[in-house]
Amino acid sequence: MGVACSNQTIPRKVLLTGPKGSGKTTLLYYWSMNTITETIPTESFNIETIKVDIGGQLLVWDVTDTARRRQFYHGTDAIVYVYAEDQNTTQAKVREDLITLLTDRDLQNLPLLLLTSKTDISGTPMEQSEETLNLSSVLSKRSYACAQITMTDTSTYDQALKKLIDLFYT
């Protein structure tokens, strides 16, 4: 009988990915524990279940290794891509990684939440980041949202989660 005959809801699977050191794990733990925690670099993956206000759940997979992340694609319902504006990772590398990710057959047309982190350090506005990445060709057939997150203002983490929920339920 399983879940079909129970009162449980099946969590929506979210792939949380992006370059190393961009703040993915900090974001994941904030969403699950509602507090900023000290994190260590992720070697393979982290996973947390996040209960959302509308009664559902998100099963968020924090995956950093671009070479091995494809094994996590199956069953994914949405993508959250985080990159840091202050990193040595160039916009061109971020754009290349995003295009590879978004054109994969298992992830086509899934909702995308694009987050820039550490913008309190770089001061780069989100509009400028979006324009520089120039992703209009791969975003034209999917719903997406963009936001900035900073550790100095945890309300930005809450706003990002709200945008993710809106991508699912609106």
Residues 6+ apart with CB under 8 A from 93: 19
The burial of 23, by beta-carbon neighbours within 10 Å (0-12 exposed, 13-18 middle, 19 or more buried), is given as buried
Residue 133 phi, psi (nearest 5): -70, -30
Determine what percent of the chain is predicted with pLDDT higher than 70: 84
User: What pLDDT is attached to residue 52?
Assistant: 87
User: What pLDDT is attached to residue 8?
Assistant: 66
As a whole number, mean pLDDT of residues 93-97 equals 89
User: What pLDDT is attached to residue 126?
Assistant: 62
User: What pLDDT is attached to residue 157?
Assistant: 93
Using CA atoms, how far apart are residues 153 and 160, in angstroms rounded to an integer? 12
Task: Tell me the pTM.
Answer: 0.88
Using pLDDT thresholds of 50, 70 and 90, give the confidence band for residue 125.
Answer: low
Question: Among 128, 124, 130, 158, which residue's Cα sits nearest to residue 144?
Answer: 130
Question: Among 42, 146, 58, which residue's Cα sits nearest to residue 98?
Answer: 146
User: What pLDDT is attached to residue 123?
Assistant: 57
* Domains of the chain, start order: 10-169 (3.40.50.300)
pLDDT digits (tens, 9 = 90+) for 138-163: 787 889 999 989 888 899 999 999 99
pLDDT digits (tens, 9 = 90+) for 38-85: 777 777 788 889 998 877 899 999 998 777 888 889 999 999 999 987
Q: Give yes or no for residue 169 having a pLDDT over 90.
A: no
Q: Give yes or no for residue 165 having a pLDDT over 90.
A: yes
User: What pLDDT is attached to residue 106?
Assistant: 93
